[in-house]
């Protein structure tokens, strides 16, 4: 079953509601339990080293706590390996502390887990080798390399063929769709779209070939 992973960064009621519509199983990632408590949502599981969860949330969800004490992996990685799912939407990971967001992005790039992050303004994922998106002309399409990457595209105002992307060389922020978009990418690239494009991104990801990756830490 698709699931929603809830992290500790601020999450609006609207964003949480949207995520739960697509991922009805709910996993709180450590401090995300307090977000769910405030929203009146009962998680199926609370995972992490539990150093950020309040006493109130700990008591409320006592029968759902999965404590993992080791400090060699992040709480997000702990959740991925404890609660694998065919598809996950992560909320509460964009915003607040930048180092926490970067650690989540790094874990997604490393594992190629089929996880989509949703925030107030954006939704993002690590691109599979091929992705086809049904987008309206003018839709913002940003490509952010997490490692060396190159590829070909159709439906972008500025095609990417022949470009060598990398975190310290070239990025692809604020490109735009001219209509439906197809991306064929080698390497590790994050795709960032407006949050309103969540349904289109979910449809594209769930029908795309699953990329190879490694197990969560």
| Domains of the chain listed by start with CATH number | 3-120 (3.40.50.10240), 126-207 (2.60.120.320)
Rounded to 5°, the CA angle 47-98-111 comes to: 55
The predicted model scores a pTM of 0.92
Mean residue pLDDT across the chain:
93
pLDDT digits (tens, 9 = 90+) for 108-134: 999 999 999 999 999 999 999 999 999
d(CA 160, CA 126) in angstroms, rounded, equals: 17
Rounded to whole angstroms, what are the CA distances from 46 to 68, 127, 134, 190? 10, 28, 35, 27
pLDDT digits (tens, 9 = 90+) for 159-216: 999 999 999 999 999 999 999 999 999 999 999 999 999 999 999 998 876 655 565 5
DSSP state of 165: B
């Amino acid at each position: 079953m698709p699931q929603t992973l809830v992290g500790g960064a601020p999450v609006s009621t609207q964003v949480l509601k949207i995520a739960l519509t697509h991922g009805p199983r709910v996993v709180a990632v450590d401090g995300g339990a307090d977000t769910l408590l405030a929203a009146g949502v009962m998680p199926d599981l609370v995972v992490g080293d539990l150093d950020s969860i309040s006493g109130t949330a700990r008591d409320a969800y006592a029968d759902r706590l999965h404590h993992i004490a080791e400090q060699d992996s992040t709480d997000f990685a702990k959740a991925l390996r404890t609660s694998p799912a065919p598809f996950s939407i992560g909320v509460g990971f964009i915003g607040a502390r930048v180092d926490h967001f970067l650690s989540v992005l790094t874990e997604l790039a490393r594992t190629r887990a089929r996880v989509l992050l949703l925030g107030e303004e954006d939704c993002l994922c690590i691109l599979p080798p091929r992705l086809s998106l049904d987008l309206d002309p003018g839709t913002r399409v940003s490509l952010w390399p997490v490692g060396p990457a190159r590829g070909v595209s159709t439906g972008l105002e500025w095609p990417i063929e022949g470009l060598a992307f990398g975190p310290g060389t070239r990025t692809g922020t604020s490109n735009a769709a001219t209509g439906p978009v197809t991306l064929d990418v080698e390497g590790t690239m994050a795709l960032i779209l407006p949050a309103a494009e969540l349904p289109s991104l979910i449809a594209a990801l769930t029908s795309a070939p699953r990329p190879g990756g490694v197990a969560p830490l």
